[in-house]
Structure 1
Amino acid sequence: MPALKRFANPDVTRAVANLVWLGLERLTQIGVAIAISGVLARYFGPDLFGKWQYANTLLLVLSPITWVCGAEILVPTIVHRPPAQLGTVLGSAFALRLSVSAVALVLTWIGIGSGLTDPVVGAMLAGLAVTMLFREPFVGVINAWLQSITYSKPQLLTSMTTAIAKALLVWLLVRAAAAPSRFGWLWALESAVIGAALVVYYVRRHQGKLGWHVERTLLRHFATAGTVFWLGLICMYLFLKLDRLMLERAISFADLGRYSAAQQLNENWITLALMLAQTLAPAFVYRIQDAVQLRRNMWRLTAMTAVLMIAGALALDLLAGFIIRRVFGPDFEEAVDIFRWAVWLSVPAGVEAIGNLVVLKYQAKFVLLSKWLLALAVACVVNLLAIPRFGAYGALIGLAVGYLAAASVNFYYIRYKLRP
């Protein structure tokens, strides 16, 4: 009976519905990403596909720069301020994010124009980089407002719809034998459509007015608050993409394309671990105040996640040949063995994601920054030693050691914070 009463609580019902939509959106994005990668891999071939993946890697390294004033700062500010100040809060965050994103985009284009990248990679990145102008200023700000009212359905539904539409447009461009540089602009179009749809939704919810204003004091606060978390996220994404950044200098783009094909599938599998962590966090971590109970929950969640990741990795290892050939085609045969080894990275990645929940629960921003700085430094050293000897497999070793370093910091913090 108490459980039924808790479920009948409108806040709990709204949170559960939010999780359901989040799960549907993530699964849709994973399915669309795999489908698009398969189509482009067969159309481009290993060499061009390697350049496409490297352009995406550069985008994912550059994008965290625009994550200034993250959700961990913006959402609590929206919640704690009076409703009458919502327009000022969102307007100030929007102005800051738009300024940073515009500077990041211009600098990216200057770098491309200066020849800092391969010409084809630069042409692909030119369109992809435009997503920075729409994702955080428009989508990110309104999504923070939606999170504050525990109602992310509009953003998630829009994201699912545009992802499916983008997949259809990719297929049409392939049928039309479009130049490789054209495809990046589809990602820019997708982000612009999502941003426009969310702005329209926000305006309709507020009597047809946007009502955003900039307050200088709040703008300065947003520019400085959360800086440590922001730097930590930058380090995290550098770590996650360091393998491809360093491999680009050591192997051909064709080999990089095969490695990236295997890693993209693996990263989608690892995303499920992150989804699991996000789903379990509120009930088993964030709401638990008793240290003994929280410590017990953490060990149980860690063990459960490790078993799940091992079982999944074993299944993917056995099916690696079928999956790679089915998705990417015969030109990516060499990616099979890489994928077999890469899927086992999901074990330390999943364990790290669960341990990170305690770091987030207590807002241990310096622990987060130190953890990813350590993982980045360790992975860099290992890559420098292992890639010349083992090639792509050396990069996998670097990732594995980096994940273990990050997980070790989590375990140390948990023992320190939750000691009896």
Structure 2
Amino acid sequence: MRNVVALAFAEKVSQAASLLLVQAMLARSLGPTTYGVWQYTLSAINLVGSLALVCSSEILVAAIIQRKDQAREWLWSAFFIRLAVSMLCMVAVAIYLLGTLPAEYYTFALILCSLLILAEPFAVSIAYFQAIQRYPVVSITRLAILAVKLLALWIALRLQWSISLIALIWILEFVCFNILMSRYLAQAGILAPILRPELLLHLLKAGATVWAGFCFMYLIQRVDMLILRRSIGFDLLGSYAAPKALIESWYGFGWLLSQILAPALVYGAKTRVARFRLLGLMVALSVCAALVTTVAAEIILSLLFGSSYTGYSFILTALAWTGVLVFADAALSSFYFKQRHYALFMAKYFTAAAVYFVVLALQPSIQPISFIFCITAAYATCVMFSALYLRTQRIL
């Protein structure tokens, strides 16, 4: 079991590190303007694509574990739901991007939009391997494909491929992963399609609250790029996107770390003091990172992305301190999942999103610094919401 957890942790850390490496490679090679287009397009796709997470892994894994004899029915029901929603999302985001991007980026945008029907529907296979405790199959496959992707991207950038051809690497990544996962599922004898309407309805009802919570969370994290585009050009948007990409990787690591440590530090804790260990550890780690960033923000951006992206180093510093709230929120959210209070999880992020837009409406003008206040206010709301709830329940 320890080896499985260690492998899963290594996979997630490798994914986060490779994502940051990919962003650094793209930023250096494409330049601020084209990199701004890339990040703007991905932000729109990820934001709309969050709607496709209608059957979250938390719900699907639990369903398969309870009824392993119906694993094929659960898997295909979730697949059909995600496929239908993903197709609608793909059309919606394609229309939006074609209306906001310059004409020379239309092909690039349409290629990336197709990721929605390649990524989310087929991701249900991951839940199956989690449920039957064969997650190392997924981890090893992902790590192998990730290594090939990084090599392919390095070659493409060295050969100065167009942005549309570079986007095809992402398509090939998911095609290869889906083919391999389909092969594993065929060996397990659950690849033949089957559809049961009652399971569709159950997954939609059971997963609605978690899905809504994640949608509001993605809204807080990604909507700034779409709003900011109305005020600044793609060159400045690219300069803003570089520190934002670094911070998003750091925030994602915080959530990952809380999920890894929660079973040991939260789920088995018997006293309030013991339950504070995860929160204290996460806050201490984020404060240390913020202190380092305060001293070396420009150096970090210059080393990773190049000197063209150091103009918004204050964004990196400010959002690093906001990371203290994000890490605290990640620690406190582990109590929601332990108690399965998914409705409160959704309510928390709905409230945070509302605060986000109230703060945005109070800004005299929309500038990059405006979103520092919005994001900080949103995560402060999350922490206060969680602390108040956990205090009333005498959990903390």
Q: TM-score, normalised by structure 1?
A: 0.88
What is the match of residue 372 of structure 2? 396
Listed one character per residue, the Cα deviations across residues 165-193 of structure 1 (whole Å, up to 9, x for unaligned) are: 22222222222222222222221221121
Amino acid at match of 2:91: V
**Match for residue 219 of structure 1 among 174, 197, 200:** 200
Judged with a 3 Å threshold, the aligned counterparts in structure 2 of structure 1 residues 319 and 118 are, in CA distance, closer, same or farther, namely same
CA deviation after TM superposition for structure 1 residue 380, in Å: 1.6
Judged with a 3 Å threshold, the aligned counterparts in structure 2 of structure 1 residues 322 and 65 are, in CA distance, closer, same or farther, namely same
SS of the residue 2:92 aligns to? helix
CA deviation after TM superposition for structure 1 residue 42, in Å: 1.9
Listed one character per residue, the Cα deviations across residues 52-91 of structure 1 (whole Å, up to 9, x for unaligned) are: 111111111011111112112211111111x332222212
Listed one character per residue, the Cα deviations across residues 26-65 of structure 1 (whole Å, up to 9, x for unaligned) are: 2212222222222211222111111111111111101111
Query: Structure 1 residues 315-324 or 339-348, which shifts more?
Result: 315-324
Q: Is 1:262 aligned with 2:238? A: no
CA deviation after TM superposition for structure 1 residue 301, in Å: 2.0
What is the match of residue 416 of structure 1? 392
SS of the residue 2:362 aligns to? helix
**Match for residue 232 of structure 1 among 196, 213, 225:** 213
CA deviation after TM superposition for structure 1 residue 419, in Å: 5.6
Q: Is 1:309 aligned with 2:286? A: yes
CA deviation after TM superposition for structure 1 residue 233, in Å: 1.0
- Structure 1 stretches lacking a partner, 5+ long: 1-13
CA deviation after TM superposition for structure 1 residue 120, in Å: 5.0
What is the match of residue 117 of structure 2? 133
Listed one character per residue, the Cα deviations across residues 124-165 of structure 1 (whole Å, up to 9, x for unaligned) are: 332222222122222x21111111123311212222222222
CA contact (8 A) 1:102 1:133 kept: yes
Query: Structure 1 residues 84-93 or 258-267, which shifts more?
Result: 84-93
Amino acid at match of 2:4: N
Judged with a 3 Å threshold, the aligned counterparts in structure 2 of structure 1 residues 401 and 110 are, in CA distance, closer, same or farther, namely closer
What is the match of residue 328 of structure 2? 351
What is the match of residue 3 of structure 1? none
Q: Is 1:17 aligned with 2:3? A: yes
CA contact (8 A) 1:18 1:152 kept: yes
Aligned residue runs from structure 1 range 19-418, under 5 A: 19-81=5-67, 83-113=68-98, 115-119=99-103, 122-138=106-122, 140-206=123-189, 210-288=191-269, 290=270, 293=271, 295-386=272-363, 388=365, 391-418=367-394
Query: Structure 1 residues 209-218 or 322-331, which shifts more?
Result: 209-218
Listed one character per residue, the Cα deviations across residues 245-269 of structure 1 (whole Å, up to 9, x for unaligned) are: 2222222221111111001111212
* Cα-Cα RMSD: 2.0
Amino acid at match of 1:130: S
Listed one character per residue, the Cα deviations across residues 75-114 of structure 1 (whole Å, up to 9, x for unaligned) are: 1111111x3322222122222222222222233334445x
CA contact (8 A) 1:55 1:121 kept: no
CA contact (8 A) 2:359 2:373 kept: yes
CA contact (8 A) 1:243 1:398 kept: no
Amino acid at match of 2:145: T
How many pairs are equivalent? 396
Query: Structure 1 residues 57-66 or 295-304, which shifts more?
Result: 295-304
Judged with a 3 Å threshold, the aligned counterparts in structure 2 of structure 1 residues 108 and 246 are, in CA distance, closer, same or farther, namely closer
Judged with a 3 Å threshold, the aligned counterparts in structure 2 of structure 1 residues 419 and 270 are, in CA distance, closer, same or farther, namely closer
Q: TM-score, normalised by structure 2?
A: 0.94
Give the Cα separation in 2 of the matches to 1:197 and 1:190. 11
Give the Cα separation in 2 of the matches to 1:403 and 1:211. 44
CA deviation after TM superposition for structure 1 residue 386, in Å: 3.4
Calculate percent identity across the aligned residue pairs: 27
